[in-house]
């Protein structure tokens, strides 16, 4: 049974300052494994305990995670440990608080947001080695303790320095403060990387994305730890790459990105073409790099420049100057003879120079003159000298290198303008307004280089690494010394190689190699690389770290690897042989004054600003400082900056030369281990005491090794630590007690403590298992017993409930029968005598009174639904019984009443009075009038209705009596005196009826295409009236029953519903026109209504109801 050790909150709260050098614990010294009580071992046992080189301190970890604890300590075991971890994808290893990073050449899933959050919550040694752990220590120390930090990233090309710096930047950006302004600053700082990589990185034999310049970035933070801005300093751009690259290498990325990613319009504006083979400065063997998309990278660079704050005009000008460098390489120079016989040079094809002049606003003739001749000025005269082809090519290449180098410096300065901290004046003079800013520096610079042919560039690079090594040793020893002094431990002097003698050999102001190089460059007379070497041989002939062919011959030594034009320096990382060829020219780094003046005359704003010395008003005859002097001053400033900060180191190692994942070359790594001085680093870290930790964490981890401190210790942490170590009988030479920490001299003692702890944990785990198993068995038994008792009680209760239920049901049944028998016995005579009469009356009343809706309420709410259903069923049954008792005539009367209800209920005032009055049909005594009988016989079918009406004359509004007859097919109007039909109207021609809502009998029949038949006796004449017309009729009583009858007959005859309109204003149409009828209520209004018609105008008829 194994499980990870979870640290207590107090352990998590420890700051990184509690872990100096190789303070291990936390997860570094073992997850929780089971152990047993360990008896106190003797001193001999401790001294005899040696851990094998591949023994991990962490069970589950790979190898030794901190090389300070490596045993035995030699180069072979160190490299073997790195290889073991690398093969298991553990690319990070510690040397105290130094991180060693081995380039995996692949993406590993250890950099996501979850890892950032993980390392943010723990201290340095509580998780596996990681670059995030070092970045977190630096950031927390800066934020919480106000200590300026610097992170030094070193290693040779291809070791992963640039990626390590990106990871540090991304971690700091992720854990610092939030907010719009803070996010903007962070984004600008992060976006500076792709821009600088495009202009400062290139593909080399060793690395596809090699930084060809040194970079130091200072990031400034406020008191909360939020970034405010930064400053970037660049060192020694490899500008010789602009004009020449080795086989298998490329020029700077920006040239290929521009050609591949620019659209046709931009290429046309820059006068470029996409084919890289068209440009002499681009290596034709490597136009593309595997895994690198130049087109998309170009778009990313443009976006990054916009984020940083470059304007569109500035981006365009930068690309134009970049294109200028490419086009300079295509300017071909040829020999041209002069009359004096002195060799001269000229330009083969002037088209290239002309394009440069058009794009930059240059005079092409002045540019050609500046490339092919040299002007030297003194205080009194000016001399123009023609250049031969070699000199002209040198001038052309020098111009291209200077333009690109100055452009790169301008880009760095432009980025600094965007990311610099804005200077806000304090609002008051209070001390809080002058808050000191916190600074974190990140140094990404070349590692130590030993090539087959080492020149001036390797010399200054190795000089810079010598200075960094000096800083490392001095800062490390200083840190050790301060730690011992603080803790009251006697400081033991550490023997180490002091490389100050090498630094003085190179940088001494009067007698250093750089001083001699400057002196040789400045002195009059014939100056060459050979004279420089001769001066070095004379000056350093007896120097222990300087060698040359001359000094070897003087000492009778023979070395075939030493050339005549070479010298050798014994650096801290090994001997390096330098060829002096080109030292003078590279140190001078001169650009002919004529070229500077020609560039200054350009109309291009950016190009003109790159050459301020070309301004005649600012012309100076003073010689500019040499490249070596400039670099020496830059290194001095850098060293001063680093000494003022707390250093943090990342040592990057390249595992193989082929950039292949999984390959580990022990020989190559051994060389880098020697270059980086890792073994000396470990020895310095282990000087004195290899391990130290605060008393509290130490006691928390090892208190189980003493019976006095386990399981509880109520005394002080130091007393508890002394108890633990006292019972283990460790030698007094192996441990020392400081003021706040315990110091252990050798890793063997620490391994011994861990072994005893492991055994003790096994015993404790066994004890815990025993107690746990006993508790689990007891708990299981108790649970089973409790369950059995519960089941038994429930079963007995259930059986008793069933028995009681049966007994109760039986008792209730007996009681019901007894009560029923008593009730029947007591009330039998009363029930039989009156039951029949009561039932009969109830049924009779229920059937006869259909409108009675009374119904008893449900005794309980849950009977409501059933009660409503029963009520509805009862009412339907009652209605059916009522309908079954009706005669056909009664059914017909009810249907007529239903029709009247549908037509007039709620619409006509007289409707309620008409409801109880049955419809008679014959209102004129048709059976007693022979003449009307004859009229009846003239038409088909029986007369359904006969009624006396008053016809309103449309001309004068007077009324005349008429008899209205209704048959199954016609409506007949007959004269009351002569009993003759005056109008016969088919029911199909009745279009509608208009009636008022008042208590009157006025109504209007609206007809269409009426055929009116009139005559006497058997003869008659027919009058055909075409069009729509109307008849206005009036009754002496409300017109509800006649109109209901007419509506029913029309529906039966035509299968169409007769439209009945209830209104006081309607229109009637006659042959002559339309008359508007308006009905008003008169002052009377009681009893039978009388109609009074009055014609108003030709088209209006007013009817008054009295």
Kindly list the catalytic residues: 157-158, 162, 207, 210-211, 447, 449
Structure tokens at 698: 């130490």
Contact in structure between 189 and 230 (CB atoms under 8 Å): yes
**CA–CA gap between residue 667 and residue 455 (Å, rounded):** 24
Phi, psi (degrees; rounded to nearest 5) at 874: -65, -40
Phi, psi (degrees; rounded to nearest 5) at 1004: -125, 130
Structure tokens at 1028: 């729509």
CA 285 to chain centre: 42
Q: Encode burial over 22-35: b for 16+ CB neighbours within 10 A, e otherwise.
A: bbbbbbbbbebbbb
Structure tokens at 1031: 């008849």
**CA–CA gap between residue 443 and residue 214 (Å, rounded):** 8
Contact in structure between 68 and 691 (CB atoms under 8 Å): yes
SS3 content of the chain, % helix, strand, coil (to 5): 50, 15, 35
Phi, psi (degrees; rounded to nearest 5) at 879: -65, -40
What region does 1059 belong to: left with phi over 0, alpha with psi -120 to 50, or beta? beta
Place of tokens 């470059």: 310
Q: What stretches of 353-435 adopt beta strand conformation (E)?
A: 373-377, 382-386
Closest by Cα among 97, 61, 57, 94 to 78 = 94
**CA–CA gap between residue 364 and residue 726 (Å, rounded):** 89
Contact in structure between 406 and 398 (CB atoms under 8 Å): no
Closest by Cα among 442, 431, 399, 421 to 170 = 442
**CA–CA gap between residue 463 and residue 508 (Å, rounded):** 12
Which whole-number Å values give the CA distances from 750 to 2, 74, 744, in the listed order?
22, 19, 7
Contact in structure between 737 and 723 (CB atoms under 8 Å): no
Which whole-number Å values give the CA distances from 434 to 149, 430, 438, in the listed order?
21, 8, 13
ω before 632 within 30° of 0 (cis)?
Answer: no
DSSP label of 74: S
Contact in structure between 1077 and 1012 (CB atoms under 8 Å): no
DSSP label of 240: G
**CA–CA gap between residue 730 and residue 733 (Å, rounded):** 8
Q: Which uninterrupted H or E stretch holds 844?
A: helix 747-848
């Amino acid at each position: 049974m194994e499980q990870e050790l979870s640290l207590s909150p107090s352990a998590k709260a420890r700051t990184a300052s509690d872990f100096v050098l190789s303070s291990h614990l936390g997860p570094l010294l073992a997850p929780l494994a089971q152990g047993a009580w360990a008896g106190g071992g003797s001193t001999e046992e401790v001294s005899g305990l040696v851990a094998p080189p591949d023994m991990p301190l962490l069970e589950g970890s790979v190898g030794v995670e901190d090389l300070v604890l490596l045993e035995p300590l030699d180069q072979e075991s160190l490299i073997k440990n790195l290889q073991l971890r690398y093969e298991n994808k553990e690319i990070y290893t510690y040397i105290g608080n130094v991180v060693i990073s081995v380039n995996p050449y692949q993406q590993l899933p250890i950099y996501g947001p979850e890892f950032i959050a993980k390392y943010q919550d723990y201290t340095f040694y509580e998780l596996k080695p990681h670059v995030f752990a070092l970045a977190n220590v630096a950031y927390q120390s800066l934020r919480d303790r106000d200590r300026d930090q610097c992170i030094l990233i070193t290693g040779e090309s291809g070791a992963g320095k640039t990626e390590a710096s990106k990871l540090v930047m991304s971690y700091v950006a992720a854990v610092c403060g939030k907010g719009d302004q803070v996010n903007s600053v962070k984004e600008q700082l992060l976006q500076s990387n792709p821009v600088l990589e495009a202009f400062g990185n290139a593909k080399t034999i060793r690395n596809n994305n090699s930084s060809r310049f040194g970079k130091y970035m200072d990031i400034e933070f406020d008191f909360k730890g939020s970034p405010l801005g930064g400053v970037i300093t660049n060192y020694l751009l490899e500008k010789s790459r602009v004009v020449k690259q080795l086989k298998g290498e490329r020029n700077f990325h920006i040239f290929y990105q521009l050609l591949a990613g620019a659209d046709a319009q931009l290429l046309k504006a820059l006068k470029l073409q996409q084919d890289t083979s068209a440009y002499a400065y681009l290596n034709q063997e490597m136009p593309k790099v595997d895994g690198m998309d130049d087109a998309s990278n170009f778009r990313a660079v443009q976006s990054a420049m916009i984020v940083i704050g470059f304007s569109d005009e500035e981006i365009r000008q930068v690309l134009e100057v970049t294109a200028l460098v490419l086009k300079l390489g295509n300017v071909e120079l040829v020999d041209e003879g002069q009359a004096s016989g002195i060799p001269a040079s000229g330009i083969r094809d002037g088209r290239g120079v002309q394009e440069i002049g058009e794009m930059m606003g240059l005079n092409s003739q002045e540019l050609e003159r500046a490339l092919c001749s040299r002007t030297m000025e003194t205080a009194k005269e000016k001399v123009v000298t023609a250049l031969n082809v070699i000199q002209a090519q040198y001038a052309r290449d020098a111009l291209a290198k200077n333009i690109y180098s100055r452009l790169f410096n301008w880009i760095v300065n432009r980025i600094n303008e965007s990311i610099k901290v804005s200077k806000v004046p304090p609002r008051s003079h209070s001390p809080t307004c002058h808050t000191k800013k916190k600074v974190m520096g990140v140094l990404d610079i070349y590692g130590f280089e030993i090539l087959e042919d080492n020149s001036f560039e390797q010399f200054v690079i190795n000089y810079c690494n010598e200075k960094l090594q000096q800083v490392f040793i001095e800062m490390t020893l200083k840190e050790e010394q301060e730690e011992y002094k603080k803790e009251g431990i006697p400081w033991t002097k550490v023997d180490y190689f002091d490389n100050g003698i090498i630094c003085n050999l190179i940088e001494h102001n009067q007698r250093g190699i750089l001083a001699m190089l400057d002196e040789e460059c400045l002195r009059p007379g014939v100056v060459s690389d050979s004279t420089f070497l001769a001066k070095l041989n004379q000056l350093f002939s007896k120097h222990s770290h300087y060698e040359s062919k001359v000094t070897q011959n003087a000492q009778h030594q023979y070395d075939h690897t030493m050339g005549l034009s070479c010298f050798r320096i014994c650096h801290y990382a090994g001997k390096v042989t330098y060829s002096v060829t080109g030292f003078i020219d590279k140190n001078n780094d001169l650009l002919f004054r004529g070229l500077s003046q020609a560039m200054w005359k350009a109309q291009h704003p950016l190009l003109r600003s790159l050459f301020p010395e070309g301004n005649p008003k600012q012309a100076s005859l003073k010689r500019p400082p040499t490249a070596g002097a400039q670099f020496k001053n830059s290194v001095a400033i850098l060293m001063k900056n680093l000494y003022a900060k707390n250093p943090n180191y990342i040592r990057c190692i390249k595992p193989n030369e082929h950039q292949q994942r999984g390959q580990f070359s022990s020989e190559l790594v051994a060389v880098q281990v020697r270059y980086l001085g890792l073994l000396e680093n470990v020895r310095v870290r282990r000087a004195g005491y290899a391990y130290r930790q605060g008393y509290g964490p130490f006691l928390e981890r090892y208190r189980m090794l003493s019976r006095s401190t386990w399981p509880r210790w109520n005394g002080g942490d130091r007393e508890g630590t002394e108890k633990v170590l006292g019972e283990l009988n460790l030698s007094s030479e192996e441990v020392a007690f400081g003021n706040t920490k315990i110091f252990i001299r050798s890793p063997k003692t620490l391994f011994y403590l861990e072994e005893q702890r492991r055994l003790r944990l096994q015993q404790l785990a066994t004890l815990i298992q025993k107690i746990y198993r006993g508790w689990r068995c007891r708990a299981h038994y108790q649970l089973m017993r409790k369950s059995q008792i519960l089941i038994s009680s429930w079963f007995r209760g259930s059986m008793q409930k069933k028995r009681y239920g049966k007994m109760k049901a039986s008792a209730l049944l007996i009681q019901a029968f007894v009560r029923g028998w008593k009730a029947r016995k007591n009330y039998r005579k009363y029930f039989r005598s009156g039951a029949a009469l009561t039932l009969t009356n109830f049924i009779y009343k229920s059937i006869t009174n259909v409108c009675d809706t009374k119904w008893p309420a449900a005794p309980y709410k849950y009977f409501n639904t059933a009660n409503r259903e029963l009520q509805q069923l009862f009412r339907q049954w009652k209605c059916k019984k009522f309908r079954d008792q009706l005669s056909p005539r009664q059914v017909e009367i009810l249907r007529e009443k239903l029709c009247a209800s549908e037509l007039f209920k709620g619409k006509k005032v007289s409707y309620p009075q008409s409801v109880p009055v049955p419809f008679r049909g014959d209102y004129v005594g048709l059976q007693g009038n022979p003449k009307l009988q004859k009229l009846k016989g003239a038409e088909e079918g029986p007369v359904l209705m006969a009624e006396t009406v008053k016809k309103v004359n449309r001309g004068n509004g007077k009324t005349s009596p008429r008899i209205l007859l209704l048959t199954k097919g016609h409506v007949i109007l007959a004269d009351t005196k002569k009993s003759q039909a005056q109008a016969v109207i088919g029911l199909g021609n009745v279009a509608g009826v208009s009636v008022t809502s008042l208590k009157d009998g006025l109504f209007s029949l609206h007809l269409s295409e009426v055929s009116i038949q009139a005559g006497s006796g058997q003869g008659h004449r027919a009058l055909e009236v075409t069009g729509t017309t109307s008849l206005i009729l009036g009754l002496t009583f409300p017109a509800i029953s006649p109109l209901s009858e007419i509506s029913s007959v029309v529906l039966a005859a035509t299968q169409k519903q007769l439209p009945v309109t209830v209104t006081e204003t309607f229109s009637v149409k006659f042959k002559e026109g339309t008359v508007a009828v308006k009905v008003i209520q008169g002052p009377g209004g009681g009893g039978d209504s009388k109609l009074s018609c009055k014609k108003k105008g030709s088209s209006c008829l007013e009817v008054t109801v009295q």
